[in-house]
A and B are shown apart, each in its own frame.
Chain A
Amino acid sequence: MSFKLKALLKSPWVFHLSTGSCNNCDIEILDCLTPRFDIERFGMLLVGSIKHADVLLVTGSVNRNCIPRIKDVYEQMPRPCLVVAIGECSLSRGMFIHSYNCPLPLDKVIPVDVYIPGCPPRPEAIIAGIVKLIGKVKKSITKK
């Protein structure tokens, strides 16, 4: 397990899942790929299929329609895997907490490793969040 995790940290491939967000967080994630921020130089790549991904980036206030899909996607991910919640909505549903269509926060649906707050978080914050995630996992490996 820890060997796999170690390999994962060299170039975490991310998959991006929007669960009823306003698109702002999603665009900021795409922004990370474009010339100014360009996270690909650190080996991070946005992939199109969940089967290729190491890290799941979740945005949006979890929608009733989406709950079964999130579980599906999470189950299909190859292990070991990490989950990052991006934006206020996926942290606590922000201002949509009393909405009839957003019954649960994300961490009651699937386990979350790192929370990146902000509405939307800036690309720098997203990159910093992923770096923190890597640091956290490294620490857990060395402890073992």
Chain B
Amino acid sequence: MTKTEVLHNLKEKFKAQIIDIIERSTRRIYIEINSCAIVEIATYIFKNLGARFSIASGVDVYSHMEILYHFTFEDINVVITLRVKLDKKKLEIDSLTSVFKAADWIEREINELLGINFKGHPNLIRLLLPDDWPQGVYPLRRDYKEWDKNAIRDRGV
């Protein structure tokens, strides 16, 4: 399967869900999709097109939140990124854990660092932050401010 075929298949199958396709370079394609269609499209990419799920990155871009799902197509050397935009007032999206187990940890990570809720995740508990970290404080958000009054940020020299 070539790159054009992959893109063509995706365009044909999910015409209504794909908002925009940007080719930043020959090897990097960014596809913006509706957030409600993520499970459907990810399943198709993973199972039918045989791509590998690399990782998801959550980004706070001031006006809204984005989740980028990176899929690596190893046989054609292309990384396709599914971009999902989320409104800051309604930060939730369907979980991908039912499609591939690899999504488990990264969804937990995005949940604790950015505060996005993954619907249907079996075990959405903290992964990285300590248990005494205050609820509702998300370090990767743009409006994060240091909450710990005891922290020392001075080298003392």
A-B complex is real: yes
**Residues in A lying within 8 Å of B, measured CB to CB:** 64-65, 92, 97-98, 100-101, 103-105, 108
**Residues in B lying within 8 Å of A, measured CB to CB:** 129-130, 132-133, 139, 144, 146, 148, 150-153, 155-157
A100 x B152 contact (CB < 8 A): no
Which of A65, A97, A100, A103 makes the CB contact (< 8 A) with B144? Answer: A100
Distance in Å from the Cβ of B109 to the closest Cβ of chain A? 13
What would be 16 A-B contacts, judged by CB atoms less than 8 Å apart?
A64-B129, A64-B133, A65-B130, A92-B156, A92-B157, A98-B153, A100-B146, A101-B130, A101-B139, A103-B148, A103-B150, A103-B152, A104-B151, A104-B152, A105-B156, A108-B152
Q: Which 5 A-B pairs have the closest CB atoms?
A: A103-B151, A65-B130, A64-B130, A100-B139, A92-B155
Which of B148, B150, B152 makes the CB contact (< 8 A) with A105? Answer: B152
Query: What residues on B are CB-neighbors of A98 within 8 Å?
Result: 153
A-B contact count (CB 8 A): 27
Distance in Å from the Cβ of A22 to the closest Cβ of chain B? 16
Query: What residues on A are CB-neighbors of B148 within 8 Å?
Result: 103
Distance in Å from the Cβ of B147 to the closest Cβ of chain A? 9
Distance in Å from the Cβ of A95 to the closest Cβ of chain B? 11
Chain A residue at minimal CB-CB distance from B155: A92
In the bound assembly, the distance between CA atoms of A108 and B155 in angstroms comes to 12
In the bound assembly, the distance between CA atoms of A97 and B151 in angstroms comes to 10
Beyond the given pairs A64-B130, A97-B155, A98-B153, 13 more chain A to chain B contacts, judged by CB atoms under 8 angstroms and listed by A's residue number, are A64-B129, A92-B155, A92-B157, A97-B153, A100-B139, A100-B144, A101-B130, A103-B148, A103-B150, A103-B151, A104-B150, A104-B152, A105-B152
Chain A residue at minimal CB-CB distance from B132: A64
Distance in Å from the Cβ of A65 to the closest Cβ of chain B? 4
Chain B residue at minimal CB-CB distance from A104: B152
Chain B residue at minimal CB-CB distance from A65: B130
Chain B residue at minimal CB-CB distance from A92: B155
In the bound assembly, the distance between CA atoms of A105 and B157 in angstroms comes to 13
In the bound assembly, the distance between CA atoms of A104 and B129 in angstroms comes to 16
* Most interface-central of A92, A100, A104 (chain B CB within 10 A): A100
Query: What residues on B are CB-neighbors of A108 within 8 Å?
Result: 152
In the bound assembly, the distance between CA atoms of A36 and B101 in angstroms comes to 44
Query: What residues on A are CB-neighbors of B153 within 8 Å?
Result: 97-98
Query: What residues on B are CB-neighbors of A103 within 8 Å?
Result: 148, 150-152
Query: What residues on A are CB-neighbors of B156 within 8 Å?
Result: 92, 105
* Most interface-central of A92, A97, A98, A103 (chain B CB within 10 A): A103
In the bound assembly, the distance between CA atoms of A101 and B146 in angstroms comes to 10
In the bound assembly, the distance between CA atoms of A97 and B152 in angstroms comes to 9
